[in-house]
């Protein structure tokens, strides 16, 4: 770890960062296989806009955020940063990632929506990575998400959701009429008709 990194990382998380870096050098960390006992809780929070905070201060190093994101694990409604021997609970306000843009590709003659997240994940919407939209019960405001990996989702940002609405068409999902987008041979409801 460089001296610059050590200055920017609080001392109580240096060992966690070193373990994460070591684990990620061999490819994507297999966090689904890691189940160490709870080591404690970090004062780390992921805001609804995708900004990661430590002790109330935004983490401004994209590489460090991507590193932490690579070892994020969800268990029920709780989120943890894990290594083979450590597990720290963190707070996530909504979804841990934000889908900041998407492109449309063709695959075998069918459209595929390819999303990019704020931490650099590239996600193709389809059977494995569904688009879902929930509505706030009190305001009816939609919250659109795309599955990224291992039960982790990205909130689709407003501009991307508006672009999805522009390409949506009338259809049915589960025998109910709705506005749908198609990707990877699947149809996803994004709003009521």
Domains present along the chain, CATH in parentheses:
3-92 (3.10.540.10), 97-192 (2.30.270.10)
Helices 14-24 and 62-69 pack at an angle, to 10 degrees, of 70
The band of 10, judged by pLDDT with boundaries at 50, 70 and 90, is low
In 3D space, the residue among 104, 99, 96 whose CA is nearest the CA of residue 182 turns out to be: 104
Handedness of CA 128, 94, 97, 87 (dihedral sign): negative
Please report the beta strands in 76-109, taking only residues with DSSP state E, as ranges in sequence order: 78-82, 87-92, 97-107
Least confident interval from 2-6, 18-22, 55-59, 169-173: 2-6
Q: Does the pLDDT of residue 8 top 80, yes or no?
A: no
Please report the beta strands in the chain, taking only residues with DSSP state E, as ranges in sequence order: 40-46, 52-54, 57-58, 72-75, 78-82, 87-92, 97-107, 110-117, 122-124, 131-135, 142-149, 152-156, 169-173, 176-183, 186-192
Report, as an integer, the average pLDDT of 66-74.
Answer: 95
User: To the nearest whole number, what is the mean pLDDT of the chain?
Assistant: 89
Q: Provide the 10 A C-beta neighbour count for residue 37.
A: 7
Distance CA 183, CA 77 (A): 28
Give the per-residue pLDDT at 184: 94
The residue to which tokens 């695959």 are assigned: 107
Give the per-residue pLDDT at 6: 45
Percentage of the chain with pLDDT > 90?
72
**Pair type for strands 97-107 and 152-156:** parallel
Of residues 32 and 148, more confidently modeled: 148
Give the per-residue pLDDT at 139: 84
In 3D space, the residue among 140, 106, 116, 112 whose CA is nearest the CA of residue 128 turns out to be: 112
In this structure, what token pair is assigned to residue 125? Answer: 């919407």
- Cβ contact 89:79 at 8 Å: yes
Q: Does the pLDDT of residue 119 top 80, yes or no?
A: yes
> How many Å from the N-terminal Cα to the C-terminal Cα in the chain?
54
Distance CA 96, CA 69 (A): 8
Q: Does the pLDDT of residue 3 top 60, yes or no?
A: no
């Amino acid at each position: 770890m460089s001296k610059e990194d050590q200055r920017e990382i609080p001392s109580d998380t240096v060992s966690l960062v070193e373990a994460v870096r070591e684990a990620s050098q061999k490819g994507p960390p297999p966090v689904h296989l890691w189940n160490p006992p709870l080591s404690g809780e970090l004062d780390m929070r992921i805001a609804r806009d995708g900004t990661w905070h430590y002790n109330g201060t935004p983490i401004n190093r994209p590489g460090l955020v991507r590193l932490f994101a690579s070892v994020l694990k969800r268990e029920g409604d709780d989120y943890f940063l894990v290594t083979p021997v450590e597990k720290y609970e963190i707070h996530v306000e909504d979804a841990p990632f934000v889908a900041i843009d998407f492109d449309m590709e063709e695959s075998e003659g069918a459209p595929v929506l390819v999303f990019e997240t704020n931490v650099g994940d590239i996600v193709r919407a389809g059977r494995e990575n569904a688009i879902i939209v929930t509505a706030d019960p009190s305001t009816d405001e939609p919250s659109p998400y795309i599955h990224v990996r291992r039960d982790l989702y990205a909130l689709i940002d407003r501009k991307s959701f508006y672009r999805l609405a522009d390409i949506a068409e009338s259809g049915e999902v589960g025998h109910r009429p709705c506005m749908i987008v198609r990707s990877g041979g699947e149809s996803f409801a994004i709003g009521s008709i």
